[in-house]
């Protein structure tokens, strides 16, 4: 019987010169809005900053150099059911025995780009001052509708479905047991991997606890939990308008953001600034080239609309799913510049917590902002679970030929 299992194909696509010419022409023809005097970032993206960013993007940003840098990672696409998934797959430079496979899940507004700085630290710790016994095989997929993954043609996929795709992907790659880590929407996906595949996921690490859901008696909450829930409600009222748009009418915003690169940059850079540990100066956390690499991926792939639609799908996940507790060993790294800092009592309510680390610096995009801190945290957290990764299928011969 022929082998009909999914087979990843190397991903080698480069941006077409005509698409880059079109991008630059659009940037040079940007019509910017006015802004009140001295508004700064108080009403959203700062007009003066965006004007400079757009000019740099049009005339000085070297996409081809950034594109080639991303190709230092082996990258692939594979069709899993109706979904075409793009992923980076980087094996440990000097594999310990056993090697622990690790699937890393990103959030919005980014892609596998979120982990570009941390992949070398995880796959080759010895080259970066670490212990070679801590090396991982690392898999970083783009969420469905993000980056170079396919855009769902029908209903958008939610985090539960993405977790199922990741479990299938790890099987295709020959990994029976593995660790899962992520933040933002990637935190949700990692959570559902632990919930739905506890026989395969050795442990789950997250940089947040997700949007809080509680349907019990408020009297059962600790004072710290009640204060945190109140603070998250206040944050949502002041800063959550983007999420309301994504959940309810993402297609309306998608028209403008897909047509205007300046509008796309404004939508994304405001979040990079607000959610990072940058003290109000986004370029303390990201260089202009790094910001524009992230934004250009969205532009060239046309995925801003499909990425936002995932919020719409997640908004209708049944409460029974949201209320489930993760029982596989769970760790959390809380970065001071992130959106929220859930108390330990809440984390223990939602997961089988074995480790909580209060990080000294970093924000929502911690793997990119503070790759060394994040890599060391993952090494330390997953070290006790490496022995559980002995159940590898073994790499199929056809897969070995791709490396």
Specify whether the CB–CB gap between 136 and 126 falls below 8 A: no
Which residues are the active-site residues? 184, 311, 364
Give, in order, the Cα–Cα distances in Å from 291 to each of 254, 268, 269, 323.
Answer: 20, 9, 7, 36
CA distance 297 to 303: 8
If residue 373 lies in a helix (H) or strand (E), which one and from where to where? helix 371-382
Q: Could you give the 3-state DSSP secondary structure of residue 49?
A: helix
Specify whether the CB–CB gap between 358 and 334 falls below 8 A: yes
CA distance 167 to 161: 10
Q: Could you give the 3-state DSSP secondary structure of residue 371?
A: helix
CA distance 97 to 186: 28
CA distance 294 to 272: 10
CA distance 265 to 233: 27
End-to-end Cα spacing for the chain: 26
CA distance 22 to 112: 25
CA distance 47 to 169: 43
CA distance 53 to 56: 5
DSSP state of 196: H
């Amino acid at each position: 019987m022929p082998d009909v299992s999914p087979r990843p194909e190397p991903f080698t696509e480069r941006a077409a010169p005509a698409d880059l010419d079109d991008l630059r022409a659009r940037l040079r023809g940007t019509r910017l809005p006015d802004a009140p005097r001295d508004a700064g970032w108080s009403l959203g993206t700062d007009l003066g900053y965006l004007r400079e960013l757009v000019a740099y993007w049009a005339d000085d940003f070297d996409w081809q150099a950034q594109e080639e840098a991303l190709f230092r990672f082996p990258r692939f696409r594979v069709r899993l059911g109706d979904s075409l998934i793009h992923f980076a797959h980087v094996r440990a430079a000097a594999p310990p025995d056993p090697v622990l496979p690790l699937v890393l899940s990103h959030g919005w507004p980014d892609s596998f780009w979120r982990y570009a700085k941390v992949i070398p630290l995880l796959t080759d710790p010895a080259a970066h001052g670490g212990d070679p016994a801590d090396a991982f095989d690392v898999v970083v997929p783009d969420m469905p509708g993000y980056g170079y993954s396919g855009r769902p043609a029908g209903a958008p996929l939610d985090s539960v479905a993405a977790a199922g795709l990741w479990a299938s992907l790890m099987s295709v790659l020959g990994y029976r047991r593995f660790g899962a880590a992520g933040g933002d929407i990637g935190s949700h996906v990692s959570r559902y991997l632990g919930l739905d595949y506890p026989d395969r996921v050795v442990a789950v690490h997250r940089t947040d606890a997700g949007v809080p859901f509680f349907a019990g008696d408020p009297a059962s909450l600790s004072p710290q939990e009640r204060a945190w829930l109140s603070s998250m409600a206040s944050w949502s009222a002041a800063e959550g308008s983007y999420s309301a748009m994504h959940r309810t009418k993402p297609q309306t915003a998608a028209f403008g953001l897909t047509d205007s690169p300046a509008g796309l940059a404004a939508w994304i850079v405001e979040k990079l600034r607000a959610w990072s540990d940058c003290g109000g100066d986004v370029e303390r956390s990201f260089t202009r080239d790094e910001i524009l690499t992230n934004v250009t991926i969205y532009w060239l792939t046309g995925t801003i609309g499909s990425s936002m639609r995932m919020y719409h799908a997640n908004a209708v996940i049944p409460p029974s799913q949201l209320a489930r507790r993760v029982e596989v060993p769970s760790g959390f790294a809380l970065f001071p510049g992130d959106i929220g800092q859930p108390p330990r009592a809440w984390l223990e309510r939602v997961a089988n917590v074995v480790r909580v680390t209060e990080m000294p610096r970093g924000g929502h995009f911690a793997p990119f902002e503070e790759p060394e801190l994040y890599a060391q945290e993952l090494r330390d957290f997953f070290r006790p679970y490496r022995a559980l990764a002995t159940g590898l299928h073994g790499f199929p011969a056809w897969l070995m030929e791709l490396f």
